[in-house]
Amino acid sequence: MSGRADSDTDPEITDPEAAAAQDTEPDAVPDEPDDEPEEPDDEPEEPDDEPDDADDPAEGARRARWTAAGTGAALTLAGLSAALLRLTRSAPALVPAAYACGAAVCAGATVLGSRGRTRRALWLLIVGVMVMALGDQFD
């Protein structure tokens, strides 16, 4: 309990039977018993030996590393190809340089992401894309 007088929390119930009585609705209809008795399963249920993927923190970290590395590699390739395309056209020299610098920052984010520094990799990816967008504004 929080100790505040204006809190809307219910008091704690220590008696399990009282908790069950409080949870049931007064106008709820009890289930009718089935005419057929339930047959026991022939095979006992086996416990899962593999942990659930959503609950495993190592799996979440692995996914974050792969996501950061994959996104960084894709943005690096996009930045390099944009820089090469801008070099072939008549554009100010600042435009392909901005794309190349943004691609270099994204490449650094790829390395950080593959090493598990996913938060820093995310910020570097954002900075790299912003540098490439700046190059797009100069075009």
pLDDT digits over 2-32, tens only?
A: 565 555 555 565 666 655 555 555 555 555 5
Enter the pTM of the model.
0.58
The full DSSP string for 14-83 is --HHHHHHHHS-TTPPPPPPPSSPPPPPSSPPPPP-SPPTTT-HHHHHHHHHHHHHHHHHHHHHHHHHHH
pLDDT digits over 50-66, tens only?
A: 555 557 888 988 999 99
Q: What whole-number distance in Å separates Cα of residue 76 and Cα of residue 98?
A: 12
